[in-house]
Amino acid sequence: MIDIKLIREDVEEVIRKLNTRGGDFSYLREVLDLDVQRRKIISEVESLKHERNEVSKLIGQLKREKKNPSEILKNVASIGDKIQELDEKLRELDQRIEDILLRTPNILHESVPIGKDENDNVVLRTFLEPAKFDFTPKSHYELGEALDILDFERASKVTGSRFVVYKGLGARLERALINFMMDLHTKDGYVEIIPPYIVNYDSMQATGQFPKFVDDAFKLANANGNWYLNPTAEVPTINMHRNEILENDQLPLKYVSYTMAFRSEAGSAGRDTRGLIRTHQFNKVELINFSRPEESYDMLEKMIRQSEKVLQLLKLPYRVVALCSGDMGFAMAKTYDIEVWLPSQNQYREIGSISNAEDYQARRGNIRFRREKNAKPEYVHTLNGSGLAVGRTLVAILENYQQEDGSIIIPEVLIPYMGIEKINTKGE
């Protein structure tokens, strides 16, 4: 959540910056008005408490002098009633302010390019030229079905559309990619974790999914109605430290988190209806970083290079783009996307995102650190990055390493994990 101090200092500047996202954030002026009312009530309450203390002293004096304090006691009671009334108004104002701020996205970093949508994203660099095929390349789902390593039909029977059964060498390839990514990132100093696949409402709120996107989540019909299927490893991993104060020497705190993720894909009707690009359930390896504020953008650059390294070792053509203001995620201040080349579509498609949320998530989740033993706690900066989306990486391998006979060459770095060099017809 954005710092209310920024609104107090210059609400018009905050509105101007947020409007670059493509919305109208003039409603934040209401926050300023509510905050003025709030501070006025706080001042009034403090004054009444002081008055009550003074009257209490007087009552004590009267009792010592054997005098009747009954009239003054009535006055104390009325002061208490007034304080209680104002406290209730204060709680209402606090809740209204919090509700508005929770539904307000992060302020973008000054380096984010201004634009309306993905068409205005800025290409920063590319790696490898897309391969030229002597034949018409097939889609990953055509290849997967022909090789009998991906079964969408039976998955649909088991659950519904946008699910898949990985079979034989398809399952082994998915598992190999997970292990390869986890091994690679732990060598870069990340602590390996496998978090819960189920998260609660507070966890979703802390990372910015709730309340704005509550209708897009998979809610579990359990007894307390407070459990949701995890949409990304970012949610459980960042919330491991919710309501904690970290020590300075713990930072940067780096996790590489493997999880199965679940998304409703409510806004993708008619898009990528076949294959693995948009499924309701997918595996993901995620990089999470808790950083000192002054180091977070250096960390962002390191993380994008670490994510790129996965594709470089797999020798897959990709490009890195800086997302423009109109294409930015709700909770993020700056984001890079990695887009991998898919021959069947003749275009680059997103395979991972690396983002800096600055202190936005930390404020929502109350995640702080202390620079010195008795220093005042400060909010950390949180960063997350795909390391990568496993299913989409498998898609890229199938399509870029396909042969004219429908077989798939295994990337060299995966051969130790796979135990084979090629997937032949029918997964042989």
What phi, psi does 250 have (nearest 5°)?
Answer: -80, -15
Alpha helix positions (H), 213-333: 234-238, 296-314
Report the first-to-last Cα separation within the chain, whole angstroms. 52
Cβ 246 vs Cβ 375: under 8 Å = no
Cβ 114 vs Cβ 20: under 8 Å = yes
Task: Tell me if residue 260 falls in helix, strand or coil.
Answer: strand
**Sheet strand arrangement including 378-379:** 244-247, 367-370, 378-379
Is the preceding omega at residue 252 within 30 degrees of 0, hence cis?
yes
Two structure tokens written together for 366: 């109350």
Residues tagged active-site: 263, 278, 350, 353, 392
Cβ-based burial of 367 (10 A; exposed 0-12, middle 13-18, buried ≥19): buried
The residue ranges of DSSP E strands in 170-252, in sequence order, are 191-193, 198-200, 227-229, 244-247
Return the closest-CA partner of residue 171 out of 148, 200, 201.
Answer: 148
Cβ 177 vs Cβ 391: under 8 Å = no
Q: Any idea what DSSP says for residue 248?
A: G
Q: Report the DSSP pairing between strands 227-229 and 347-356.
A: unpaired
Return the closest-CA partner of residue 259 out of 196, 303, 210.
Answer: 196
The whole-angstrom separation of Cα 352 and Cα 339 is 7
Task: Tell me if residue 268 falls in helix, strand or coil.
Answer: coil
The whole-angstrom separation of Cα 186 and Cα 229 is 26
The whole-angstrom separation of Cα 360 and Cα 209 is 12
The two most distant CA atoms of the chain are separated, in Å, by 108
Two structure tokens written together for 180: 């390869």
